[in-house]
Amino acid sequence: MAAHSSVSWSLLQFVGIQGLLLFIVVFLLLADYVKSRRPSRFPPGPIPYPFVGNLFSIDFKKAHESITQLSEKYGDVYSLRMGGTWTVVLNGFKIIKEALVTQGESVSDRPMTALNNEVSNNLGVIGTNGHQWKQQRRFALYTLKYFGVGKKSLESAILDEFAHLSQDITDYNGKPFEPHLTLNNAVSNIICTLVFGHRFQYSDRGFQNLMAMFDTALQLEASIWVELYDTFPVVMRRLPGPHQRVLKIWSEVKDFLRSEVKEHRKDWDPSEPRDYIDSYLTEIEKSKEDVAARFDEENLIMCSLDLFVAGSETTSTTLRWSFLFMTKYPEIQEKVQAELDQVIGRSRPPSMADRANLPYTEAVLHEVQRMGNIVPLSLPHITNKDIQLGDYLVPKGTTIIPNLTSVMFDKNEWETPLTFNPGHFLDKDGKFAKRTAFIPFSAGKRACLGENLAKMELFLFFTSFMQKFAFSMPPGVKPVLDYRIGVTLAPLKYEICATLRDV
């Protein structure tokens, strides 16, 4: 009898535990369902799964393609639930312009994600908001301009850097080489000159390793691992995986930047600033009263890191795409070189003043940026008030993704959107023609901080390359235009041959 009672009690306990667990599961599912219901007049979209939302509705190895394909079913304005966060995706030039420009003030903020908060601690000039962001951006733009962005002095620095790069490439004697890290080093040296006051030798293994880590982090930041971290930070913080690698890399990059600041403090003279760091150290002393602007040494570290991103990655990636397109279309490469020979010749380097006289070269460079589609999904925004986009109401606090891919290949804006065609940027008389739908640096109040620097670098590096070298693939190899997605859309690693042109 006692044994029978014991079994009955155990059975009741087992059933009770099962019932409790079932109740908890049902409760959580109902709570998630209530939380995940689309608000009234909210954009349509795919049905989200419990807890993870639409995280697995997207192929993160080609996220921009997945997101663009969804617009064919749900329209130019549609929604996704990424974990527990509602996101609205904007497709096509018309609606993106409406959001970023016409209603730019209402979408001028950045969302605060778990991983970015872990890395930046709400500091920097790219991911912050409000008064702090405005003051940091104002200071960065002013200081970069003071040290040469848009001026002849920086033009000379870029051409000097090309001279180092040119010699490095010439030493290969036309044999195949992999241009990725060397090109990254050269382009990064321009922002290093502005921020640190000095460049790094291509033989500097420490800086080469830093550039390689930088590249890895930007690739991983667009992976599903980071999305999972942002969705379940408490759990993911304790689990191994690529997301931990991202945190480790940015920690090491910040240590490198701290050492640069420490060296600057040794001989810093407020009356004679040499670079951005010197100027920032002076601003820390000047802005002690404006506590909300956050001019302090930790913010200097994050702002310097942000300037690296804004001033180097997109430019070096675009140049790598340019090499591939020139080998894919040798007749276009030859036409660019013929125009350069006619306008500049080969006895002097290109100058920004030559741009107006090089319409075909300008058109080709713009088409490289369009087809390269370097930042396919831009950077996310977040609404700071309720707004209307198209027929839909988007509540305050909703993440906005401007799908720049949909603009760069918008069939309503480009005659042959899927074809490399410099004619997109030429009028009937062969003169360069601006296109309003050309927004590789995004648009509105959050347009890329490094846009002016990038434009200067792209023009001078590209024309200098085309003037001095003829690019081709190694014998028997065809150019491959496949990509590797990250924060930027980069070509797969490749080798290329650069032959000195006849003098």
Contact 214, 477 (CB under 8 A): no
Q: Compute the mean pLDDT over every residue in the chain, rounded to the nearest whole number.
A: 90
Alpha-carbon distances, residue 2 vs 5, 6, 8 (angstroms): 5, 6, 10
Contact 314, 374 (CB under 8 A): yes
Higher pLDDT, 24 or 387: 387
Residue 25, pLDDT > 80, answer no
CB neighbours of residue 69 within 10 Å: 12
Point out which residues pair with 91 in neighbouring strands. Answer: 403
- pLDDT tens per residue, range 445-482: 999 988 999 999 999 999 999 999 999 999 999 999 99
CA–CA dist 474, 460 (Å, integer): 26
Domain ranges of the chain: 38-500
DSSP secondary structure code for residue 446 in this structure = G
Rg (CA), the chain: 26
Query: Which burial class, exposed, middle or buried, applies to 400 when counting CB atoms under 10 A from its CB (0-12, 13-18, 19+)?
Result: buried
Q: What share of the chain is helix, strand, coil (3-state, %, to 5)?
A: 55, 10, 35
Q: Please, where are the H alpha helices in 196-296?
A: 205-220, 224-231, 233-236, 242-266, 276-286
In which residue are the tokens 């605060």 written? 112
Distance of CA 81 to the CA centre of its chain: 22
What homologous superfamily is domain 38-500 in, according to CATH?
Cytochrome P450 (1.10.630.10)
Is residue 496 predicted with pLDDT exceeding 60? yes
371 pLDDT tier (thresholds 50, 70, 90): very high
Q: pLDDT per residue over 81-107, tens digit each?
A: 987 789 999 999 999 999 999 999 999
**How far apart, in whole angstroms, are the C-alpha atoms of residue 379 and residue 15?**
50
Token pair of 128 as six digits:
């912050």
Please give the pLDDT value at position 30. 53
Determine the Cα–Cα distance for residues 364 and 459; give it in Å rounded to an integer: 11
Residues in a beta bridge with 88: 79, 400
Q: What is the pLDDT of residues 198-231, one digit of tens each?
A: 999 998 988 888 888 888 998 898 888 988 898 8
pLDDT at 133 over 90: yes
The token pair at 351 is: 């100058």
Distances in whole angstroms, Cα of residue 56 to Cα of each of 47, 51, 61, 134, 149: 11, 11, 12, 36, 43
Amino acid residing at 266: K
**pLDDT value for 124:** 95
pLDDT score recorded for residue 427: 95
Contact of 161 with 428, CB cutoff 8 Å: no
* pLDDT for the residue numbered 51: 73
